[in-house]
Structure 1
């Protein structure tokens, strides 16, 4: 059994700590109404990502189920399909640079990334200018957000791409890809 701690937004704008106990790989199973695996269920013509919550039997495509996202991050799972990742996976970054903020807290399989950029209006928007890169599990690190203009609903820590020199493979060359590279 593994203890997973995550932060949950409250209605009053504050954040509270919540704890879930899981037994891998049961975190993918029947406890959740949207089980892991491929192909993803299609709802309203859109694939239903594993981290997308349901309300009244319908997916909330603009939301992320925080406990699932945290499980993916802590247990090295894909946020699109919910299955275990290989030794490497992909993340979207705010910019193509070491230390750049990761768009989401969890990584994605290459095939799931192509699915995400095809259907997600945010990830697939060229105007957002996101960069994409292949990562190992230790390439992503939490960085505390201490900015004075951080609102109370924003997470206290954001995930960033750790510099390759600070990882277990310091001599490797990291490659950044554009949206068109990922779609190709």
Structure 2
């Protein structure tokens, strides 16, 4: 059994630890209502991401099933399809720079990223100014937020992209892609993967 510890918000704004025991072959969705894999089920014209919970038999598209999201982060799985990621995967960032905050701690396959930006009203919103980059699993790290103006109800740690100079591969070249570039790559071929190197 795989022991997974994740943090859950309490009503008083504090965080508490929860422990989940998962049998690895069944982690990919067999025990969950929303199974893993591609193509994603389509509900109401929208693809149903693996981390999206069910409520009263309907997808709750505005919510994230925290256990699944934490499984994806800890076991290097894709939050859109729920399957294992490769050596590298894609993350959305708040700014085009090393050390930038990651929009979601779980990464995404290139193909799944294009699904996400086409249908997610947040990731696909040009006014949000998000950028995207390919990253290794150890590139995503927790950074404590000790600023006095931090929202007391927000987690004390935030996930960031580790700067290249702090990695075990300092010769890595990281390229940041705009939303328009990610969407354009998706129009070429669904199997095409943008190479950031």
Q: Give me the TM-score of the superposition, normalised by structure 1.
A: 0.95
User: 1:102 maps to what in 2?
Assistant: 102
Shift of 1:154: 1.6
Q: Distance in 2 between matches of 1:50 and 1:99?
A: 27
User: 1:170 maps to what in 2?
Assistant: 170
Shift of 1:24: 1.6
Instruction: Tell me the C-alpha RMSD between the 2 structures.
Output: 1.2
Matches within 5 A, 1:127-142: 127-142=127-142
Q: Map Cα deviations across residues 88-139 of structure 1 (whole Å, 9 max, x no partner).
A: 1000000000100000010000000000000000000000000100001111
Q: Distance in 2 between matches of 1:168 and 1:72?
A: 23
User: 2:25 maps to what in 1?
Assistant: 25
Contact 1:130 1:179 in 2 (8 A): yes
Shift of 1:166: 1.6
Contact 1:15 1:153 in 2 (8 A): no
Contact 1:118 1:124 in 2 (8 A): yes
Q: Distance in 1 between matches of 2:148 and 2:98?
A: 24
* Count of residue correspondences: 184
Q: Distance in 2 between matches of 1:136 and 1:61?
A: 28
Q: Give me the TM-score of the superposition, normalised by structure 2.
A: 0.89
Structure 1 unmatched runs, 5+: none
Structure 2 unmatched runs, 5+: 185-197
Q: Map Cα deviations across residues 158-179 of structure 1 (whole Å, 9 max, x no partner).
A: 1100011222221011000000
Q: Distance in 2 between matches of 1:53 and 1:13?
A: 22
